[in-house]
Amino acid sequence: MAKLLTDSEFQRFSELQQKQASFTITSAEADELRDIVARAQQKRDDRAAAMQAIETYIQQFDISPDELFSPEQIGEAARTYGLIPAAKKERVLPPSFTYNGKPYQWTRTLPDDIRVPLFDAFKAGQSVKEFIATPKDASRCAATIARLERETGAVYADAWLEELSVTRTQVDEALTRLAA
């Protein structure tokens, strides 16, 4: 009932129900309560008729779910109703660097202490492996190179990608994730 009424209507409905329960309701208030209930029932009936019309059109025109909803919406609904397990999204940690023995994490911005030498080396076409704190984590390395390429406009050499055990495809995928 609460979903069918506005906040003020629901508040008045609750007040009138309490008066009715304690037998202190007047006939005018009883009529008002009946009117509120009738409006709520009319809204419910109108919604049901609209849903029936939509269902009819979907069947009549043979509309598939993927025409109505995005794959993300369909997946979310399937997880909500337990049709597929609620898998956790893969969490990729931000790139981590070390420079002069000091650790840095590239969350939103990178401090100038490491930004300047890192970007200079990257733009000069040198290896940045010595800066990367987690060289064995291929996904983080790919994300690091993707961010560097995006922010500098330079392309990292394939030889240096091999040094990090990262493929160009992994970097391109990381670039598309960054864009999204």
16-73 pLDDT, tens digit each: 999 999 999 999 999 999 999 999 999 999 999 999 999 999 889 888 877 888 888 8
Residue linked to tokens 């109108």: 46
Task: Report the alpha-carbon angle 154-158-160, nearest 5.
Answer: 85
> Rg of the chain over CA atoms, in angstroms?
30
| pLDDT tens-digit series, residues 136-177 | 888 888 888 998 898 888 888 888 888 888 889 999 988 888
Q: Which domain holds residue 54?
A: 2-80
Work out the average pLDDT over 1-5: 79
Residues 107 and 65 in one domain: no
Residues 116 and 143 placed together within one structural domain of the fold: yes
Within a domain: 89: no
The reply to whether 60 and 115 lie within a common domain is: no
Instruction: Tell me: do 151 and 108 sit in the same domain.
Output: yes
Examine residue 91 and state whether it is found in any structural domain, yes or no. Answer: no
Do 65 and 134 belong to one domain? no
Tell me the Ramachandran region of residue 81: left when phi exceeds 0, alpha when psi lies from -120 to 50, beta otherwise: alpha
Q: How sure is the predictor about 107, in pLDDT bands with cuts at 50, 70 and 90? A: confident
Asked if residue 157 and residue 106 are part of one domain, the reply reads: yes
Q: Is 60 a member of any domain? A: yes
Evaluate whether residue 116 is within a structural domain: yes
> What total of structural domains would you count in the chain?
2
pTM (2 d.p.): 0.48
Which is higher by pLDDT, 98 or 1? Answer: 98
- pLDDT higher than threshold 60 for residue 109: yes
Quick one: the chain helix, strand, coil %, rounded to 5? 60, 5, 35
d(CA 80, CA 91): 21
Last residue of a domain, one of 36, 52, 80: 80
In this prediction, residue 50 carries a pLDDT of: 92
